[in-house]
C-alpha cells in the first residue's frame, strides 16, 4: 500500500480519492477554500497545511484541479509540491490542462529527480463515482507501470499514449469529440421535439441504431429531464475547447465545428449557464429554435 497525496477534492477528485482509500492506501491532502469531505475523513484521510507537506509525506502526489494556472500554483508556488519532493517520488497530474505547459512541468519535476505523468480523465462525475474513468497517460513506461495499480482503482480504460504531454493532447481530442456529439444530440432532439415527436421515444429508438453513444444515453436523458446540475461544468469544457482552438491555431489546423460548439457554450454562459452541466449546450440550440426539447421542471414520464 502506498502513501499518496491527493490535491483537488472537488466534484470528481473526492470520489477518486475515496477509491484510493477504499483500496487501502494512506491518503494525504490539503484544503484551501472548502473543508475535506466528511466521508473521506471518516475513511482516514489526513489533512495537512500545505502542498509541500503533502509531498513530504507521500510517495506519489496526484493533482486534480481546474486549469493550468492552478496546477502551476500547486506544483511550483510557495509551499508547493515541488518544495516537498525528494528524489524517486512520482507526481501525477490528472487535471485537464495545456499540453505545452505540461511538458514544461514534467521537465521541472524531472530536474528534481522525480517522475511525472500527465493523466487526464474522461467520464465525468458518473465515471469518477463508479471508478470507470478513461485515463489517458503521457510519460515514461516505468512511471506508468508504477502508477497503473493506482489508476486501476479509479478507472477502466487506461492507456499510455506516449511521452509527456501525450495524455493532455488526447484529452483535448476527447473534449472535441464530446462537445460535437453533445451538439449533435442536442440538434437531433430539438428537431424531433419541434417536429412533434416525443423526444424521449426518439432517444429510445436511436439508442438501438448506429447513432447510439454514451452522450445520447446520458446527456440526451439530461436534455429531456432538464437535469443540468454538473456533472461537468460548461466553463470547464470551454477551457478545454480553448486549448483545442489555441493549439489548432499554432498548428495551422482548422477546427470549424469545435469553434461552433464553443460559441454555443458562450451563449449558455451569457445566459447565466457557466456552471450548468455541459449537456445544457442544448439550451443555446433551443434559444435559436424558440422551442425547448422538454418543459423545465417536468421530467418526461416517457423518459422514465
Q: How confident is the model at residue 31 (pLDDT cuts 50, 70, 90)?
A: confident
The pLDDT assigned to 206 comes to 98
Average pLDDT over residues 8-16: 94
pLDDT tops 50 at residue 300: no
Average pLDDT over residues 215-225: 97
Q: How confident is the model at residue 35 (pLDDT cuts 50, 70, 90)?
A: confident
Chain segment 117-136, per-residue pLDDT in tens: 999 999 989 899 999 999 99
Q: What is the percentage of the chain residues whose pLDDT exceeds 90?
A: 92
Chain segment 237-269, per-residue pLDDT in tens: 999 999 999 999 999 999 999 999 999 999 999
SS (H, E, C) the chain: CCEEEEECCCCCHHHHHHHHHHCCCEEEECCCCCCCCHHHHHCCCEECCCHHHHHHHCCEEEECCCCHHHHHHHHHCCCCHHHHCCCCCEEEECCCCCHHHHHHHHHHHHCCCCEEEECCEECHHHHHHHCCEEEEEECCHHHHHHHHHHHCCCEEEEEEEECCCHHHHHHHHHHHHHHHHHHHHHHHHHHHHHCCCCHHHHHHHHCCCCCCCHHHHHHHHHHHHCCCCCCCEHHHHHHHHHHHHHHHHHHCCCCHHHHHHHHHHHHHHHCCCCCCEHHHHHHHHHHHHCCCCCCCCCCCHHHC
The pLDDT assigned to 233 comes to 93
The pLDDT assigned to 304 comes to 42
The model carries a pTM of 0.90
Judge whether 239 counts as a catalytic residue: no
Q: Of the residues 89, 146, 171, 283, which is catalytic?
A: 171
Average pLDDT over residues 132-147: 98
Q: How confident is the model at residue 296 (pLDDT cuts 50, 70, 90)?
A: confident
Q: How confident is the model at residue 297 (pLDDT cuts 50, 70, 90)?
A: low
Average pLDDT over residues 16-29: 98
Average pLDDT over residues 74-102: 97
pLDDT tops 70 at residue 178: yes
Kindly report the average pLDDT of the chain as a whole number.
95
Amino acid at each position: 500500500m502506498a502513501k499518496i497525496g491527493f490535491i483537488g477534492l472537488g466534484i470528481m477528485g473526492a470520489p477518486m480519492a475515496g477509491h484510493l482509500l477504499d483500496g487501502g492506501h494512506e491518503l494525504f491532502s490539503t484544503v484551501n477554500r472548502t473543508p475535506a469531505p466528511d466521508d473521506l475523513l471518516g475513511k482516514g484521510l489526513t489533512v495537512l497545511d500545505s502542498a509541500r507537506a503533502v509531498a513530504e509525506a507521500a510517495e506519489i502526489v496526484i493533482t486534480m484541479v481546474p486549469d493550468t494556472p492552478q496546477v502551476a500554483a500547486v506544483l511550483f508556488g510557495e509551499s508547493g509540491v515541488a518544495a516537498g519532493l525528494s528524489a524517486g517520488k512520482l507526481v501525477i497530474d490528472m487535471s485537464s490542462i495545456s499540453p505545452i505547459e505540461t511538458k514544461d512541468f514534467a521537465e521541472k519535476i524531472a530536474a528534481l529527480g522525480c517522475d511525472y505523468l500527465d493523466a487526464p480523465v474522461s467520464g465525468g462525475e458518473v465515471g469518477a463515482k463508479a471508478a470507470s474513468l478513461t485515463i489517458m497517460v503521457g510519460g515514461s513506461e516505468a512511471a506508468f507501470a508504477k502508477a497503473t495499480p493506482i489508476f486501476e482503482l479509479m478507472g477502466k480504460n487506461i492507456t499510455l499514449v506516449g511521452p509527456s504531454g501525450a495524455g493532455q493532447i488526447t484529452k483535448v481530442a476527447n473534449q472535441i469529440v464530446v462537445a460535437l456529439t453533445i451538439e449533435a444530440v442536442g440538434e437531433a432532439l430539438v428537431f424531433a421535439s419541434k417536429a412533434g415527436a416525443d423526444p424521449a421515444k426518439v432517444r429510445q429508438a436511436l439508442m438501438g441504431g448506429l447513432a447510439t453513444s454514451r452522450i445520447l444515453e446520458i446527456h440526451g436523458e439530461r436534455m429531456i429531464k432538464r437535469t443540468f446540475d454538473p456533472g461537468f461544468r460548461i466553463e470547464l469544457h470551454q477551457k478545454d475547447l480553448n486549448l483545442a482552438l489555441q493549439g489548432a491555431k499554432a498548428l495551422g489546423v482548422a477546427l470549424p465545428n469545435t469553434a461552433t460548439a464553443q460559441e454555443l457554450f458562450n451563449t449558455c454562459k451569457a445566459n447565466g449557464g457557466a456552471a450548468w452541466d455541459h449537456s445544457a449546450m442544448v439550451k443555446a440550440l433551443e434559444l435559436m429554435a424558440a422551442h425547448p426539447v422538454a418543459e423545465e421542471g417536468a421530467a418526461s414520464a416517457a423518459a422514465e
